[in-house]
Structure 1
Amino acid sequence: MYVIKKRFFKDRLISLLLQLPGRQNLLIIGAYIPPSSGLNNKLIAECHSALVSWITSARAVGTHIILGGDLNANFDNFIKHISNDEIRTPSHTLFRFLFTHQFDDLCALDPSTSLPLPTFTSASSGQLSRLDYLWASPDFLATHLWSCVVDTLDNFNSDHMLLISFFDFLSIRDLRAPSYLKQRSRYRTVYNFHAALPDQKALFTSEVDASLKVTHTSNSSNNLNRTWHELKSALLKAARSAFPKQVISLNKTKKTPEELQSYQHISHKLDHYIRSLKNNFTISELYGSWNRFYPSFCPLFLELFSDRIDLLNQFPVPASLYSEFISSSLSFNTYLNKFKGILRPVQRLISAKLKLEFNHYKHDAMKSAIAE
């Protein structure tokens, strides 16, 4: 991964264009939009225009995008305006662009209410609001796992909290650019002292002693640097002839830990299905996709979460989906949003479990490394 290009705009916007493995480009944009006021309105409009222009240009060539920063605006109020028929054109041009182009709002959710967590505390009134955001372009190259909000007062004084999102980039680590594949395979050689037998260790010791005696008699210089290089040369020569050899490839990427693979698989499966729902425009399309997804997902879920069958009981049975839609008397878009809401608790449970298991894995790996 390396930086291709960086851009700035009026000390308010910064962007980095990165090239990732597999010749995939990622545009990361950081933004600070000033608070809305008569003095700032012109600057705000220019920043919004620049962001829309950067994103539009990047998407035209297939670049993935992450937009983050303090946007000094409340997206939840914008959504209320969208659903209000009396307001024909909501005023926030950036939110309107992100919403209409189906960017994902990577907010941290309150587990008890499923509502976005606030990221800002007013110093004067103590009121909580959400002004800081992370947005990802549709079909982002890495799966979003979860987001969280962290108070920064232990590190620095700020009325903003830190919004952190976690992604699974393991899927792109195995991708290699053609130029990389043409390179000669790189590797390192390890001589395993711990696997050596007693007679191999004795052979190693005797060969080091013999080599050092020869170099000592042939060289009367007391140069410390030369003596150190002679010792290293003797150790390496003896290790080559005495110890078991192991060749480790530097091109081979590590696989996902086996204990995390099942959770990662089911997480990817559900995330992919929820993202695919934006392509469903009729109840017939939703009925077909749910009939394909439901039978394959439920057994996998019960295998990992046998005590949470109550969540699956909230799912509509595929055969009754159409009749439930008719009896609800809702428009399809409203019903689809309600349908997604039924899937969200399961998605949060899987994400939380994956996070917990990943922390356990890191803890165990650290203990193992210290023990070695």
Structure 2
Amino acid sequence: MTSSASRSPGDPVAAPARPAGTRDHRVDALRGVALLMMFVDHIPQNVLNRFTLRNVGFADAAEIFVLLAGYASWLAYGRNFDRVGLRAGIGRVLRRCARLYVFQAVMVVVTTATIRQWRHFWPVPVDFLEPELAHGLSSFWRVMFLDALPSNLNILPLYIVLLLCFPLIYLLIRWGLVPTLVLSGGLWVLINVDPTINFPNWLDPDGWYFDPLAWQFLFTLGACGAVLAGRHGGCLPRVGWLRLLCCAYLAVSALEAFPWSQWGLPDLRPFALAAPDKSVLAPLRLLDVMSIFYLVQSSVAARRGAEGRLGQVMALFGRHSLEVFSVGTVIDLYARLVFTTFGDGWGLQIAVNVIGFAVLWGLATVLDRRRVRQKEAAARAKQAATERLRDSQRPGAHGGPSVSSPPTPAVLEKAH
């Protein structure tokens, strides 16, 4: 056994393992931060978007969201495949995809109906909705079949496609992490070399804004990260030189991405690089989000912070990401309409942000209380099933020793 005194500075340090049964809130908290930043970023007139991640790095909240989606998918579905089998696991993935599609369809209908009605009372710039939808509904079916993706409504379709690919990613990971990353990374490189390879989008000749063939690599990296963290007590291995390298890269990224002119400050960019392409997940954006993820998931301090009061508030949003994102997208629409129609003065800035955050917090709180009640009900049902089984096997319970068979997997699954 190697002692700490004989370990070289470059060797990875294993983070202390979490006690059994405890939950690592870092993923939920980081996802909650990303959701709130996306809510702010989707309102161009909102002054708060001057303080979001996109101002201090090449990547933004969208990259965080997709990476964590891959991480959470392994925790939710990858381990479930091992327990219930591939066929049942795929069924669960398909049900989740159907739920995602329902939320996407509702957002499309609400967005289209709201803008078409708003135009009866106040003018609405055409960029709020593609002209094909703003002036007629003959092509509306294309949106419902994901053949046309309006702006600000293109993240959930990406998530649906990536989640549909998860069973294949799972099989590749079972084969090995290295082959998985080589195949997934090779496809990402191909798309960066030839960005014309994309899914068709009737509203945009360039295709999907988030090219799934490129973004699948980020999703896959998240899933692989979950596997690797699971082998080290829930944390990524802590390597000193790698953490320093990540910090240095993020510092350069912050200098390059900061809007110096917007703040009336001298330009301090060391290289004056052009903004990396988001559609194909350009390398600089990928390195940015991976650096953030590694620093968080290899940090014991970050774990403690996620367990604190502020971290728990962020985790509250992250645990209900689909509902928070969808409602936040609708609020963004109304906020943009209000700012465009009535101005973006300080009074409206305060009102829109306070109301928006309050609605999202209230929604997350209600959903979390319901989740807790459901878990308690499931625990009571499991305990009751266990007690009934124990009673049925007790000698003399039916006039003699019980010969009942052990509970079937279906009974245990129902108890869960």
TM-score (norm 2): 0.20
Q: Which has the higher strand share?
A: 1
Higher relative contact order (CA 8 A, sep 6+): 2
Pair member with larger Rg: 1
Q: Give the structure with the larger helix fraction.
A: 2
